[in-house]
A and B are shown apart, each in its own frame.
Chain A
Amino acid sequence: MENATASLFRARLVPGLILAAFGLLPVLAGLIDDTFIVFFAIRVMIFAIAAVSLALILGFGAMVSFGHAAYIGLGAYTVGILAENGVWEFYVSLPATLVVCGLFALVTGAISLKTRGVYFIMITLAFGQMAYYTATSLSAYGGDDGLTMWGRTEIFGSSMLSDRMTFYYVVFAVLVAVWWLCRTMVNSRFGRVLQGARQSEMRLQAIGIDPYAYRLAAYVIAGMIAGVAGALLANAAEFVSPAYMSWHRSGELIFMVVLGGLGSFSGAILGASGYLVLEEVLSHVTENWRLIFGPFLILVVLYGRGGLLGLITGGKRDG
């Protein structure tokens, strides 16, 4: 019993520790005067936001979406294209991102969610590629080469996001907000229906609930959140590229969620951090880091049930 209590305690502790780590990181980086760490952590947090949104549908709704990177790309392109046309204000670009990603998710989700299993994987992948190829053929906005933004999104005319620390804490605040939102949703009636549909669709239908609408709603929300991650990514890099939505990115996002531990949002954040740190370290060791990474991924799938979070908490999962 003591073990179970201890692991439960650790499971509660993990989210707090992750938040504290990201919150304090710029201070520590400031002490050792390392700007790279701050840049890197911004990237980690942005992908963590996207991974959390994927964890919502993958971990709690059992929807294996292989086109999630498309929403990162759509969000980034919305911000980039608006900026190219002289619109920099966040109160235009943020709602625009949400609308664009929400609509794309609504249309493609309505079609894909009619299907199950392998079909769903292939169809989301195909729609993701559709977005990718459309971006590469946008010759007015850079096509294959991508689009450089000459600045960052403004907040009521102020270019405060250009300050590294301000931008860091804005991304941090978005991550915390998204995390809180997803946890709240999963623990609400909506979340219970979603998880119930994963366990037994028939039982839900028997008590008069049609899971399709709930799945679609979750799919749209996840798409919008990933779009926000894309908008932040465009600002962080001041560059927008079709590569953001390549299917390799979608695969990496799935891996982040699984690496961290399926069915947990702190797991998704841990997974995104673990993945990007590993990528960074391995790419310093060898240019051909994928030679090591590919087999590692296979081994994690075959033997690493529970992911990083399972490693820390001994298998217990939090929300």
Chain B
Amino acid sequence: MSATLLAVQTLNGLQLGILLFLIAAGLTLVFGVMDFINLAHGVQYMLGAYLAVAAYGVTGSFWTAMLLALAGSLVVGLALELVVFRHLYDRDHLDQVLATFGVILFLGEAVKVIWGSSPLSLPVPDLLSGSIPISDGLLYPVYRIALIVAGLLIAALLYVLVTHTRVGMLVRAGATNAPMVSALGVNIRRLFMVVFGFGAMLAGFAGIMAAPILAVEPGMGDNLLILAFVVIVIGGIGSIRGAFLAALIIGLVDTIGRSAATDIARLVLPPAAANDVGPAIASMLIYILMAAVLFFRPSGLFPARAG
């Protein structure tokens, strides 16, 4: 693999990592504070993308569509919390998994009914269209670079929020010991609504940002949801820092692994066999990585909860 290709794949990997971080950040906070497993988080990412496409159809402006879709993601997230999730906090994980699975089935099908099964797309905004040269004769789309920058900015914003504000302090305290925070007189339910709404918006934002470069289709959240789980497991439940690092690692390993696996397999196998084995190994890489991390650190790289 040439240096240029490696550069492009690194950028692509960062891009996937950023998307994963945006999804995993909300998930890991919700896990951390409320010990609540929300499978429907991937659906919220998908809804963000669909809402953006719909809003663009009405307004014709990417930026207005983005604002409307963000507001829509927040409303849907809070509505789900109010109608379904609120009743599940005191239940065991099995109930949470099943009920949120029901939410996935419903919303996935609802999206099909409203927008159809065929993939939709959202045009890249004029401001961010075009490409810039990153080395001799190699162009990289501005929009993809903007996505990486936007993701890094949000990561920085989250860092400030979590480490330097009162709400952030409560979130961190909640992740360490939620009953204690509650006993100290903090309305933990309201704290959770804030965390939950914020997480839903982050997932929606990821969907909006992904809409111009990925196909907007039912089930688009499923793959990313499971990758986000891998990210959270590696990073440590409840840890934003862990999620950020793990998301970038997973993004890079998956992307570069996929483009390099066949070439590497060719070194030891005949070409025909390598073409078969390469992709299979590439798709297993991140799970092997996860298994390895768990083997040495069973509670992830940065466990938020001690013990």
Contact = CB atoms under 8 A, between A and B. Distances in A.
Contacts of A134: 280, 283-284
Contact of A294 (B88, B91, B103, B237): B103
A291 B99 CA distance: 14
Interface in B90-115: 91, 93-95, 97-99, 101-110, 112-113
Contact of B229 (A125, A288, A294, A295): A125
Interface residues of B, number: 47
Contacts of B106: 290-291, 293-295, 298
B253 interface: no
B287 A130 contact: yes
A133 B286 CA distance: 12
Interface in A87-139: 108, 111, 114-115, 117-119, 121-123, 125-127, 129-130, 133-134, 136-139
Given A111-B294, A111-B295, A130-B283, A302 B97 contact: no
A255 interface: yes
B98 A254 contact: yes
A247 interface: yes
Contact of B99 (A125, A136, A302): A302
A298 B87 CA distance: 10
Contacts of B105: 290, 293-294, 297
Interface in B274-305: 275-276, 279-280, 282-284, 287, 290-291, 294-295, 298-299
A290 B276 CA distance: 36
A253 to B, nearest CB: 11
Contact of A288 (B39, B88, B95, B109): B109
Contact of A118 (B35, B88, B104, B275): B35
Interface in A189-235: none
Interface of B: 31, 35, 37, 39, 84, 87-88, 91, 93-95, 97-99, 101-110, 112-113, 222, 226, 229-230, 232-233, 237, 275-276, 279-280, 282-284, 287, 290-291, 294-295, 298-299
30 contacts: A111-B291, A111-B294, A115-B299, A117-B35, A118-B37, A121-B37, A122-B230, A126-B226, A127-B287, A129-B226, A130-B284, A134-B283, A136-B283, A137-B279, A139-B275, A247-B226, A251-B39, A251-B97, A254-B94, A288-B112, A293-B105, A294-B104, A294-B105, A294-B107, A295-B102, A297-B101, A297-B102, A300-B98, A301-B88, A302-B87
Interface of A: 58, 64, 66, 108, 111, 114-115, 117-119, 121-123, 125-127, 129-130, 133-134, 136-140, 247, 251, 254-255, 258, 288, 290-291, 293-298, 300-302
